[in-house]
């Protein structure tokens, strides 16, 4: 009694779902004209088109511009001056003009920092910022590539689920045709025919749901690749085999670890260079000058050499600034330690996931093959009149569920292999 009630409830539920989509027709994705891309094409397009990658590239250019400005400490500084002085009247005594009423002066100054330890340190710090920007760009590229790869794998999974529902629909259609033929010939019961119609309607509804899931996955892939429309996946991804490392050298290949390492390197240099702010600075300059017309006490041509030595005696901001730099360095060290620990954990988990999912896929594939064989045997028995279509419906459900579970297990294995590559810093 409970078995009949369960089958009746399933039939009513599927008929209700089928009535909601009865007016719709199956539209294969190929008919929509979506562009198909391979796994490598999806990843490369995402890296080439994603705005985040472009922003990271601009950040590198900005850091390089600051580096060029910092390097200017090793270049001389030159500028020229032109000035005209107009007085109410000329100045002089005993008929001699000391300062003409209108006088124009031309001068040029060349200056060079002979000693500027703090500015020299800023050049090295700017180089660290360039390395940090480059590491940040690599980390951004990695995130963009992983997002595109996961979107591609989602499309593969949706395709597999659609294939399962299409096969299930084809089986249900064949059984419905057979039940209708027997009923029209007076050899079968109306109950068997109604059950086959219900199963076919349920299969049609599952196709619509699978088509919707596939369309959503294709849209997500298009967004990840920054394409103008949805994209379809073409072929399985070729994920290279992984050679597990024997030491921690693989950490240097992870973009996120490299980013935190460069941040620590930059913060350590800034903190270490704090003492250079107390060193004196020496600047030398040379200024030739030409004045016309010349005055009595001012020749038309002259030059001046100037040397300026600045010695810091007291600056209340230097000590607090040093403490802040040390705090920044220690914070960067803690972030690197935390990221390194997480990376090791991610590697262990990814390795475990690959090993276990490989065994899961093997077992579930065997289960799916057995369920498909049981469905074929049940169909033969039904056509021979040795059983009812209730057993056929149950075998269909078991085979469909096993096939979907196999597709899900294969997707989890692909995801695990991708995660292992990402954990090792070998993707993209």
Per-residue pLDDT band at 307 (split at 50, 70, 90) = very high
pLDDT at 95 over 60: yes
pLDDT of 128: 95
pLDDT of 33: 66
| β-bridge partners, 83 | 105
Domain ranges, ordered by start, for the chain: 37-423
pTM: 0.79
Of 9-13, 75-79, 337-341, 379-383, the range with the lowest mean pLDDT is 9-13
Per-residue pLDDT band at 32 (split at 50, 70, 90) = low
Name the residue with higher pLDDT: 33 or 408.
408
> What's the pLDDT tens digit per position in 312-363?
999 899 899 999 999 999 999 999 999 999 999 999 999 999 999 999 999 9
> What's the pLDDT tens digit per position in 160-172?
999 999 988 988 8
Per-residue pLDDT band at 6 (split at 50, 70, 90) = very low
> What's the pLDDT tens digit per position in 219-255?
999 999 999 999 999 988 888 778 888 888 899 989 9
Distance between CA atoms of residues 168 and 206, nearest Å: 9
DSSP H helical segments within 226-317, as ranges?
255-272
pLDDT at 390 over 60: yes
DSSP secondary structure string for all residues of 191-254: HHHHHHHHHHHHHHHHHHHHHHHHHHHHHHHHHHHT-SS-EEE-S---PPP----SSGGGGGG-
The CATH number fitting domain 37-423, selected from 3.40.50.720, 3.40.190.10, 1.20.1600.10, 3.40.190.80: 1.20.1600.10
Per-residue pLDDT band at 154 (split at 50, 70, 90) = very high
Contact by Cβ (8 Å): 157, 273: no
Per-residue pLDDT band at 24 (split at 50, 70, 90) = very low
| β-bridge partners, 274 | none
**Percent of the chain with pLDDT strictly greater than 70:** 92
């Amino acid at each position: 009694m409970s078995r009949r009630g369960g089958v009746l409830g399933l039939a009513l539920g599927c008929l209700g779902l089928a009535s909601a989509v009865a007016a719709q027709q199956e539209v294969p994705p190929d008919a929509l004209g979506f562009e198909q891309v391979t796994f490598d094409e999806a990843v490369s397009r995402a890296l080439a088109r994603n705005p985040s990658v472009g922003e990271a590239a601009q950040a590198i250019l900005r850091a390089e511009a600051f580096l060029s400005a910092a390097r200017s400490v090793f270049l001389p500084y030159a500028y020229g001056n032109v000035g005209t002085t107009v007085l109410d009247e000329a100045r002089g005594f005993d008929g001699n003009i000391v300062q003409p009423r209108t006088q124009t002066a031309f001068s040029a100054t060349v200056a060079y920092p002979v000693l500027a330890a703090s500015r020299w340190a800023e050049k090295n710090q700017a180089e660290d910022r360039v390395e940090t920007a480059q590491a940040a760009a690599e980390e951004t590229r990695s995130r963009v590539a992983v997002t595109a790869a996961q979107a591609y794998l989602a499309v593969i999974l949706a395709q597999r689920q659609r294939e399962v529902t299409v096969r299930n629909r084809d089986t249900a259609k064949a059984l419905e045709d057979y039940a209708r033929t027997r009923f029209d010939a007076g050899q079968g019961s109306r109950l068997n025919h109604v059950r086959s119609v219900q199963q076919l309607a349920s299969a049609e509804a599952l196709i619509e749901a699978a088509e919707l899931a596939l369309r959503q996955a294709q849209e997500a892939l298009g967004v990840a690749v920054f394409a103008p429309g949805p994209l379809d996946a073409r072929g399985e991804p070729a994920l290279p085999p992984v050679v597990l490392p024997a030491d921690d050298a693989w950490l240097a290949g992870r973009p996120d670890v490299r980013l935190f390492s460069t941040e620590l390197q930059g913060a350590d240099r800034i903190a270490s260079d704090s003492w250079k702010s107390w060193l004196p600075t020496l600047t030398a300059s040379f200024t030739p000058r030409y004045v016309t017309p010349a005055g009595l006490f001012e020749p038309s041509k002259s030059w001046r050499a100037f040397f300026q030595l600045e010695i810091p005696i007291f600056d209340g901001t230097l000590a607090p600034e040093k403490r802040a730099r040390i705090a920044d360095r220690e914070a960067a060290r803690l972030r690197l330690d935390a990221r390194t620990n997480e990376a090791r954990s991610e590697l262990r988990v990814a390795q475990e996931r690959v090993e276990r999912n490989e065994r899961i896929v093997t077992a579930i594939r065997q289960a799916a093959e057995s369920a498909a064989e049981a469905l074929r045997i049940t169909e033969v028995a039904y056509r021979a009149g040795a059983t009812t279509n209730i057993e056929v419906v149950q075998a269909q459900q078991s085979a469909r569920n096993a096939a979907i579970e196999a597709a899900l297990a294969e997707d989890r294995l692909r995801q695990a292999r991708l995660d292992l590559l990402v954990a090792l810093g070998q993707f993209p």
